[in-house]
Chain A
Amino acid sequence: MKVLVAVKRVVDYNVKVRVKADQSGVDIADVKFSMNPFDEIAIEEAVRLKEKGVATEVIAVSMGVAQCQETLRTALAMGADRAIHVQSDAELQPLAVAKLLKAICDKEQPQLVILGKQAIDDDCNQTGQMLAALAGWSQGTFASKVEISGSDISVIREVDGGLQTVALKLPAIVTTDLRLNEPRYATLPNIMKAKKKPLDAVTPEALGVDVTPRLKTLKVTEPPKRKGGIKVKTIGELVDKLKNEARVI
């Protein structure tokens, strides 16, 4: 079976973004971009399924500006077989991305789509669930374990206060949580090989999807700053402050 993986190019998790003075957004000029960490876990899971003989082909998909192709090359270097880039300079919101993925699913007919549970830039946590709704497929979100047998897939999900197991029918959507796996690093020979792997580019228009944003960002501002307090020398002093100054114990 084919496995499709969606990967997003995001500001690297180590970068502390700054809000622009005109409140139009955050300043992303000259900052480092990487693959969304949860999407690395998604690629890793798909590649492992291929190594186990469960998946026959792993297709990585990314949407957005031209540089998304670099993110796709990383996915190919990690072991994806080919890549599709939906090229667009427009702001792509989760509903639009889900519709684009649905159009690609119609064409490629994967049995499984794996996505990160959320992107660390907009922190939306929506796309996988939306794609599942549009396709009418089952969903195993926030997955920490995935097992496939025949047309069934069992997903252990990270939920508030514990773990939940669901039994799903393929085709299905899985979104990854932190403990699903530990993604591999792309080795140099694999990075070289990835350059030769097929990477197709399409446009939202060619896929027949209207990507007009539904949410308008009116402004982006700095959150209120928390001021650092004081350092205490001893535990006795700490307990005294908590009791008599902060009055929280």
Chain B
Amino acid sequence: MAILVFAEHSNAVLNQATARAVAAATKIGGDIHVLVAGHQARPAAEAAARIVGVTKVLLADAPALEHPVAETVAPLLAKLAAGYSHVLAPATTTGKNVLPRVAAQLDVAQISEIVGVESADTFVRTIYAGNALATVQSQDAIKVITVRTTAFDAPGEGGNAAIESTDAPAGSEIARFVSQEVAKSERPELTAARVVVSGGRGMGNGDNFKILDALADKLGAAVGASRAAVDAGFVPNDYQVGQTGKIVAPELYVAVGISGAIQHLAGMKDSKIIVAINKDEEAPIFQVADYGIVGDLFKLVPELTEELGK
């Protein structure tokens, strides 16, 4: 039995989500190969080779793969999949975009965002915004799986897997990458941050997120938001924490002006410590918060920032 893990990377840098998908593969058991599909992506391949548990890295390197679209990489993965029992990818926007296309090409089901491995064919995943856990068994010969990265701890480095070249596909004729606007930020990435500070509808407007920025700077935190705040246009969608946004599980999550709708809780309830700041003492967020404080966030947040600076 061998498992193929589809690496998430930016050619020069391997995304940490890949290591977490490898962790899920380790729980399944078997040889673990990682596919790095990119252009001038040897640094990413070398980083993948160092992940403990990885036995081989396949490097598909071609200009057409610099910013690969699903239409280009899915056929490559589907072709390679014939030699594997499982194909895994982290449940990032890339993994979510590509893997169902691979599964359909193979005529197999996909098991989305697993949070647990019971056996080689049985997995645990959340449904209904995390309000229920489903244990599902696959009947297919090849299991195509995306991995919720917050549910698996990244294995260490120190491996020394061989890197093998594999044929890269030609570019797609029906789909082309045009551009990517990466939000510029000095802060850690939301899903990888040790501390996350999030704002909700209670922030009132986008400008008021500045007070969260100041707090986040003090804590070395990433800034997130509830869907309500995104819906209201306060902040861009890539801030969104929740069922339909990002799933985070930092050491410390500070929810500011967030009521705690089911869909938001789905994205952060696995955080180690949750702090809630809200003026409504009945807000559901207090039911999951380790430490709650009732009051005016516009007074409390600057006070907290100041206190932390002491």
Tell me whether B244 and A120 are in contact (CB under 8 A): yes
The A contact surface, by secondary structure, is mixed
Least Cβ distance of A238 to chain B in Å? 6
Say whether A62 faces chain B, with CB atoms less than 8 Å apart: no
Contact with B along A161-172 (1 / 0, CB 8 A): 111111111001
**Bound state CA distance, A17 and B73, in angstroms?**
37
Contact A249 B103 (CB under 8 A): no
Question: Provided the pairs A125-B96, A220-B134, A222-B133 are in contact, do residues A154 and B291 lie with their beta carbons within 8 angstroms?
Answer: no
A69 at the B interface (CB under 8 A): no
CB neighbours (8 Å) of B80 from chain A are none
Residues of B within 8 A of A134 (CB): 104
Chain B residues with CB under 8 Å of A157's CB are: 93
Within 8 A of B (CB), among A1-29: 11, 13, 16-17, 19, 26
Would A160 and B291 be within 8 Å (CB), given that A133-B104, A166-B69 are in contact?
Answer: no
| Number of A-B pairs, beta carbon distance below 8 Å | 257
Shortest CB-to-CB span from A22 to chain B, Å, is 13
| Cβ proximity bits A212-247 to B, threshold 8 Å, 1 near / 0 not | 011111111111001011111111101101100010
**Which listed segment binds B: A91-99, A104-112, A187-195, A196-204?**
A91-99
Q: Interface readout for A112-123 with B: 1 if CB under 8 Å, 0 if not? A: 000001101111
Q: Are A161 and B104 in contact (CB under 8 A)?
A: no
When distances are taken between beta carbons in the complex, the residues of chain A under 8 Å from B262 are 13, 16
Contacts of A232 in B (CB 8 A): 291-293
Take A118-B244, A178-B244, A230-B292 as given contacts and tell me if A129 and B131 are in contact as well, using a CB distance cutoff of 8 Å: no
What is the number of residues of chain B that contact chain A, defined by CB distance less than 8 Å? 90
Scan B86-110; emit 1 where CB is below 8 A from any A CB, else 0. Answer: 0000001110111111111101111
Known contacts: A160-B191, A238-B275. The answer to whether A214 contacts B109 by CB under 8 A is yes
Partner of B252, one of A144, A165, A242: A242
- Contacts A162-B180, A162-B183 aside, 8 further interface pairs with beta carbons under 8 A come to A128-B100, A129-B100, A139-B175, A159-B93, A163-B180, A178-B231, A231-B281, A239-B308
- 21 pairs of residues in contact across A and B, judged by CB atoms under 8 Å: A19-B132, A26-B132, A120-B129, A121-B127, A132-B104, A133-B100, A133-B101, A139-B71, A139-B101, A141-B70, A141-B97, A142-B97, A160-B246, A163-B180, A164-B180, A218-B122, A218-B137, A220-B134, A228-B286, A230-B290, A231-B291
Residues of B within 8 A of A (CB): 69-71, 74, 92-94, 96-105, 107-113, 122, 125-140, 172-183, 189, 191, 195, 219, 227, 230-231, 237-238, 240, 243-244, 246, 251-252, 262-263, 269, 272-275, 281, 286-294, 300, 303-304, 307-308
**Which residues on A are within 8 Å of B, measured CB to CB?**
11, 13, 16-17, 19, 26, 38, 93-95, 98, 117-118, 120-134, 137-139, 141-142, 144, 154, 157-169, 172, 177-179, 213-223, 226, 228-236, 238-239, 241-242, 246, 248-249
